[in-house]
Structures are given as structure tokens and as C-alpha cells.
Amino acid sequence: MIKQATLFTMLFIAWTNGISAQSTPGGEGTVVTRFIHSAALENPGGENPVRRISVYLPPQYGDSDLRYPVIYYLHGFMGTDSISPAMKTILDKGIRSAKIRPFILVIANQYTLFEGSFYSNSTLTGKWEDFTAEEQVTFVDRQFRTQARRESRGIAGHSMGGYGAFKLAMLHPEVFSSVYALSPGLLAFVKEFGPNSNSYKELQHVKTLEELKKTYYPRVLVAVARAWSPNPDKPPFFCDLPYTYEGDKLVVNQSVVEKWEANMPVYMAGAYADNLRKLTAIKLDWGRNDAPRFPLQIGMLSQRLENLGINHFAEEYIGDHGNKIWTADGRVLNDMLPFFNDFLQF
């Protein structure tokens, strides 16, 4: 009896040590890059269908045959797939400090001629939704030791990427089980992107690409329009806008408004409520001191989800649009990674 108890104790200690070794491995992760020639991104708009993806692999990935859950992270407007040394430090620290068990993180380059795909299918620029939710996932599952099931896939992103993460999770609950949207943008027609903002007024005076590059909000509007309301017969930007101005007079282009609303989550949520209910977990966050549209539109989306009876987390923190994202006191390390540790299957 004593021998049996001793054997049980030894097995229990070995088992618990094994758990500890898996949850707090030493060493550093590695970043590798791959290229995908995407059939979904073949397009008439001049975008390159060959896309680079950067992949963070956890410590000891090369020394075992373990399979890992995957977080797909979507970058913001003007961003790329780059995983900087500072970002890698945060990912390593997340594992080392046991905020999350070892995982794989993937970022695809969705920088376009107009600086952002908005993760949407477009007849002009290519099918970026299909690339992100279908081609990329299939490619990663074949190239790396992933746990190739929805329960072990999460999607996240910041700003334009936060928009894309929420939208793609809503459209593809069969692919992703959980979503964390950091300061998601373009959720509704509000503030800087509302009809009475200066953005559309400013854009009416922009006639060339060189002039457009000197702006910010008009540049975003054109990128969005090329994704959501392309028009191959309308140079120089080949898109239609929901609002234009004739002098100081607002002109509402209702058919285009409806195309944009069909891509804005505040207006989409009702039609996709059943999909949203299939997700294991949803979280939205935003900085209190961000640009005016973010607290307003994310609050609108959270209220819409609440009204539909869709469980989710929504949190305001003291910060602006970028000062507490990939930092030691930021949201990725202290909130996003623990969120996926709780809700993904490892």
C-alpha cells in the first residue's frame, strides 16, 4: 500500500511538472516568413496577388512534435505583416509569464496600392475576405503544426484589423471560434466618417493620387470605396462614394450608402446574429482618449450586440489609439493573450 502511494505521488509530481514545463517554457520564439500566390487575390485593380505572411512560432517549436492553436492577427491601415522585435518580445513574454500557453501567431500582408484591403471581397482589388479566412488558414495548417480546428483558431486585430477580425469572425464562425477586436474602425457612419464631417468635403477637392497621399481621412475613404463600392468606369480612383458635395451641399448616394452599410458591423449584426452566437467568445476594447469615432462606434456595436442577446466583453481603458497596444503595459500582453488562453482549445 505504501509503495502504491509512493508511486502515485511520483506520477502526480511528474504530471504537474509536465504541465508547468508546457505553460512556462524558457527560450524565445522564432519568426518565419512565407509567400502565398493567392487565387482569390487575382484582380483587375493592380494589386499583387503574391502575399507575404509572417508567423511567430513558440519556444521549443522545433524540438517537439506538439501542435498549437493559432491566433490570426490583422494589421491596421498602412500596416504590413511585419512582426517587429518589440512585438516578438511581447509574444515571448506572454508565454514566459504564463499569460498564455504556447501558440502560433500569423500576420498576412494586406497593404494595398491604397494602403489597406479592409479585409473585404472586392471586384476591383481582389477577394481579401476569402484570402484571409480560407486560403491563408488552409496554407498555415499545411505548413505548420497547428491544431487545425475552429476551436483552436482565434482572430484579432487593431483598428482596420479590429474591424476585419470582428467581421470575419461574424461571417466565418466555422473557421474561427473567438475574436478580440482592439479599437475596431469603420463600424458605422459616425464622426470623421459621417456624412457631415470634413472628410467628404476635403475629398471633393482631391483629383490625383499625389494629392490623395497628402491627406489622411480622404485616403481612408478611397481605400474603403475601392473595397466596398468599386466602379471600373470612374477614374482616377475607380470607386463610388456614399456622400459627395456640390459646393457646400451634401449629396446622398443611397445605393452606395447601402453597399457600405452591408459591410459595417453595426448594421450587419442583426442579419448575422446566429453566426455571432456560434462564437465561443467576443471582446471589444477601445481607448478613452482615442479619436472621437472609436468610443462612439464601438459603444454602438456593443449596444447592438447586447440588444440581440449576444454575450460579449466590452472594455474602455485609459489610452489613445496606439499607445497601449504592443507595450509591456498594453492590451496585447495583458488582455488579448489571456483572453485567447481562456477561450481557445489547447
In a domain, 12, yes or no: no
Clarify whether residues 305 and 223 are in a common domain: no
Residues of the chain with pLDDT under 70: 1-26
Residues 226 and 162 in one domain: no
Residue 84 is which amino acid?
S
User: Is position 3 within any domain?
Assistant: no
Contacting residues for 55 by C-beta, under 8 A, at least 6 apart: 31, 32, 33, 34, 104, 105, 106, 140, 144
DSSP 281-325: EEEEEEETTS-THHHHHHHHHHHHHHHTT---EEEEES--SSTTS
The predicted pLDDT at position 27 comes to: 85
User: Residue 293's pLDDT is what?
Assistant: 95
Question: How confident is the model at residue 26, as a pLDDT?
Answer: 64
- Among the candidates 210, 241, 259, a domain finishes at 259
User: How many structural domains are present in the chain?
Assistant: 2
Q: Please indicate, yes or no, whether residues 118 and 239 belong to a single structural domain of this protein.
A: no
Same domain, 209 and 270: no
- Which of these three, 239, 259, 279, is where a domain ends? 259
For 210, the domain range is 191-259
Q: Is the dihedral of CA 147, 64, 334, 78 positive or negative?
A: negative
pTM above 0.85, yes or no: yes
pLDDT given at position 247: 86
pLDDT per residue over 140-163, tens digit each? 999 999 999 999 999 999 999 999
